[in-house]
C-alpha cells in the first residue's frame, strides 16, 4: 500500500468519525418545541380555583378548631 493512499484512507476514516460525532452531538442538543402554554383565560381560572380552594381549607380548619 502506498504511503499517500494510506494517509488518504486515514484522513477519510477520521472524517467519518468526526461526522458521526457531529450527528450525535446535534441530536443530543436538538431544540425541542416549547410546550403549549395555557391561555390567559385558563390561567385566570386556575388562579381563581386555587384561591377558592385555599379559602375553603381555611374555613374548614377554623371550624374544626376547639378553643
Q: Using the CB atoms, write b or e for 20-41: b if 16+ within 10 Å.
A: eeeeeeeeeeeeeeeeeeeeee
**Distance, first Cα to last Cα, the chain:** 98
User: What per-residue confidence (pLDDT) applies to 28?
Assistant: 83
d(CA 5, CA 12): 10
pLDDT digits (tens, 9 = 90+) for 7-66: 777 777 888 899 999 999 888 887 777 778 889 999 999 999 999 888 776 665 666 555
- Whole-model pTM: value is 0.37
Which structural domain range is residue 41 located in? Answer: 3-63
Res. 67: pLDDT tops 60: no
Structurally, how many domains does the chain consist of? 1
User: What per-residue confidence (pLDDT) applies to 45?
Assistant: 94
Amino acid at each position: 500500500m502506498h504511503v499517500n493512499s494510506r494517509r488518504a484512507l486515514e484522513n477519510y476514516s477520521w472524517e467519518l468519525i468526526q461526522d458521526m460525532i457531529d450527528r450525535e452531538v446535534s441530536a443530543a442538543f436538538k431544540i425541542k418545541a416549547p410546550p403549549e402554554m395555557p391561555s390567559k383565560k385558563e390561567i385566570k381560572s386556575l388562579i381563581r380555583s386555587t384561591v377558592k380552594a385555599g379559602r375553603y381549607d381555611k374555613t374548614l380548619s377554623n371550624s374544626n378548631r376547639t378553643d
